[in-house]
Amino acid sequence: MAFGGLDKKSNGQPMADINMTPLIDVMLVLLVIFIITAPLFTHAIRLDLPKVASQPARETPQTITLSIDDAGKLFWNDTPVSFDQMRARFADAGKTAQKPELHLRASSATRYEIIAQVMGAAQQAGLERIGFVTQPARSQAQAPAR
């Protein structure tokens, strides 16, 4: 006890020693936890993120431009389509001898779930070439004056 014991040897004096056993137990538990979890921090997924500056994509006759707005509405070459119509058009495009390239243009606020469904539908239809279209970054010289 920190205040001393009730035995006659201590003469009512407080103990000056700190009980180190609980502190050592906690430190050993933390050491074991860190030893176990440290190797997990070294396994990272390598991602090659796209560059902001790139060459403009070539529009060929075999290119499909699919746009998705903030609300998740789909536009096939600037024409509004439903999800079922898009699937049917993907199936028709996948049956051609030379499969077209899909340019996917999505708003930054579009839910990833919708983008994943579109990509899944394109893959099921046999479209293998999917490109993401982004806006080029503006430099300070090109930014409009306020």
pLDDT per position as a tens digit, 64-93 = 888 888 888 888 888 889 999 989 988 888
pLDDT per position as a tens digit, 87-141 = 998 888 888 888 888 888 887 778 888 888 999 998 888 888 888 877 766 554 4
Is residue 52 assigned to a domain? no
Is the torsion defined by CA of 60, 128, 134, 57 positive or negative? negative
Q: Which CATH number does the domain housing residue 78 bear? A: 3.30.420.270
Domain that holds residue 87: 63-132
Is residue 82 assigned to a domain? yes
Cα 103 to Cα 69: distance, rounded to the nearest angstrom: 14
Confidence of residue 29 (pLDDT cuts 50, 70, 90): very high
